[in-house]
Chains A and B, each alone.
Chain A
Amino acid sequence: MSGDYGIDELMVAALAREMPNDTRAFNGAASFMPVCAFMLARETHAPDLVWVASSIAVDPSPPRIPESTLSDALWDGASMLHSSAFDFWWYAQNGRLNSFCFRGAQIDAHGNVNNTVIGPYATPKVRLPGGGGMADLSCQVPRVYLWSTTHTPRVFVETLDFRSGMGWGDGPGHRERLGLEGGPRLVVTNLCVMDFPPETRRMRLRSVHPGVTVDDVRAATGFEVQVDGDVPTTPEPTREEVEIIRRIDPTDMRKRELAGG
């Protein structure tokens, strides 16, 4: 399709296409795009995908996405409600749940994330929410997907002010030394899609969105992005994908992330 879609729909589709059929995912707070992506993937190429809404409700099919991705309005039609968000930590640690998405105020080339402070920890310029579950799940869950609706040099930085979430750490071998499985697979931003080749575990440009150039991405990134040869254009979402996204999120909650970052 040409033109009749928004960047939000392109990002959701790009994220969803990366989720294989054996994805068993759960979502945290303020995670509209991941929730859209899980539901989209489930309705297209990944019918067996498991989604645990708010880490509470197993396989729901809500009529719409509420303003909180922790809200019980997201749990309609679930086959089970967990009694505690605590239960799911076990499933996260043993691989029964294998996928999680997060973002942060700062992201470095290795996919490590800061959501704790801007500036020194003891005397922060900005005190952010904190690592929350990201600090844990980035170690425990083998398939991590990062997303960001604000691809700028302030977000994609060479050096984090604080490492709240573990990506590929200091580079190849770091996670293995700590006994951590997997790691970040993909970064979907409002400009491009990036991955982490095993040799460097630094972000490599995999595709640029329609209308975006490689130089645009370089200028918007505070570290040197790896570019191997010709970079393809991110496929546009199909008409079917766009229709499904608009059906599962009729009140456009996913677009909120574009305004707020």
Chain B
Amino acid sequence: MSKLETMDEAAGRVVDGSTVAIGGLLMNGAPMEFCRALARRGAKDLTVVAIVAGPSVDWLVAGGCVRRAIIGLVSMEGFGLAPHFRRAAERGEIDVEEWSEHTIICGLQAAAARLPFMPTKAGLGTDMPGLHPERTEVVEHPRGTYLACGPIRPDVAVVHVHEADVNGNCRVLPKLVWMDSELVKAADTVVATTERVVPERTFRAAPERTTYPGFTVDAVVEAPLGAYPTSLFPWHGYDGAFVTEYLAACRDPETFAPFWRDRVMDPEDGPALVDANGGAATLLRIRSAGGTA
């Protein structure tokens, strides 16, 4: 049975109040089309799990989708702080459950392994474990002190890949998954958005290049340019010019509203989004940025 779904169908798998994990890392490889679809559907009260995030979490917060964020870090990297995430946290509009990069991975691994916790030395001595003692506990064991990271089990994880087939097989090129593989292992339901759907024989012809096996992926959505404005190495870099304009627009609600409508939310898919943000010239620019891998 084909696992192909429309973006809206797949986004509908994320029910209000549930926990959704978003792939990518900072300005790279995030399933941005899926984030837009969630915002467009008016998804609410979500707990978002994002290891090291940027525009993805900022858009979900801007879209009013987020109640709680389980994060290691959220920023626009060299461009500045993530404005909506920042403002919502400062105003108490979202709860930020502060973890860190490796401790979130440990929590995801605990969930994937169905273990009560995963031990690590990461985070020891910092103020982080004390923020959520019910989830992370410093344990003095006879063989040493460790931080026990309780399970983080997303209802749905969403990752963006280069190629997938109707069976859910996924290929990430050249092989860089950032930390998405940990989300795929931990979540109950996995959605892969993909630049293109390819025939099953493409995978059988080069099975060593399959990144996620079909049986771990529940839904596949064709979403060309689905990571824009984040990067999808080696096919394109992130759109720094867009991020700069986005941050400028975010300074004032009056400039943000039309920007959010015309330059983020209204375009119906990835190519339309790029068209709304410079079209062919933008494509040329982001395709020549990076691309060495």
Contacts and interface: CB of A to CB of B under 8 A. Distances in A.
A133 B179 contact: no
A255 B32 CA distance: 31
Nearest to B291: A72
Interface stretch (B4-12, B77-85, B216-224, B275-283): B77-85
A239 interface: no
Interface in A146-174: 162-166, 169, 174
B290 A129 contact: no
A83 B180 CA distance: 11
A121 B90 CA distance: 9
Interface size class on chain A is 35 or more
Contact of B292 (A75, A174, A178): A75
A76 B90 contact: no
A67 B73 contact: no
A125 B73 contact: no
B254 to A, nearest CB: 23
Contacts of B293: 72, 75, 81
Contact of A136 (B71, B122, B127, B233): B122
A165 B124 CA distance: 9
Contact of A135 (B74, B77, B100, B289): B100
A76 B127 CA distance: 38
Interface string B59-85: 000000000000111110110011001
Interface in B95-127: 96, 98, 100-103, 105, 120-127
A189 interface: no
A78 B289 CA distance: 18
A30 B78 contact: yes
Contacts, number: 180
B177 interface: yes
A73 B176 contact: no
Interface residues of B, number: 60
Contacts of B102: 89, 133, 135-137, 140
Nearest to A62: B292
A131 B72 CA distance: 6
A129 B74 contact: yes
A127 B122 contact: no
Interface in B178-192: 178-182
25 contacts: A30-B78, A68-B27, A71-B237, A75-B292, A84-B177, A86-B179, A116-B127, A130-B74, A130-B75, A130-B96, A130-B98, A131-B98, A133-B100, A135-B122, A135-B126, A136-B100, A136-B101, A136-B102, A137-B122, A139-B124, A163-B125, A166-B124, A166-B125, A177-B145, A256-B78
Given A72-B293, A137-B102, 4 more contacts: A29-B26, A75-B292, A82-B176, A83-B211
Interface of B: 25-28, 52, 71-75, 77-78, 81-82, 85-87, 89-90, 92, 96, 98, 100-103, 105, 120-128, 131, 144-145, 174-182, 211, 231, 233-234, 237-238, 240, 289-293
Interface of A: 29-30, 56, 62, 66-68, 70-73, 75-76, 81-86, 89, 93, 116, 121-140, 162-166, 169, 174-175, 177-180, 256, 260
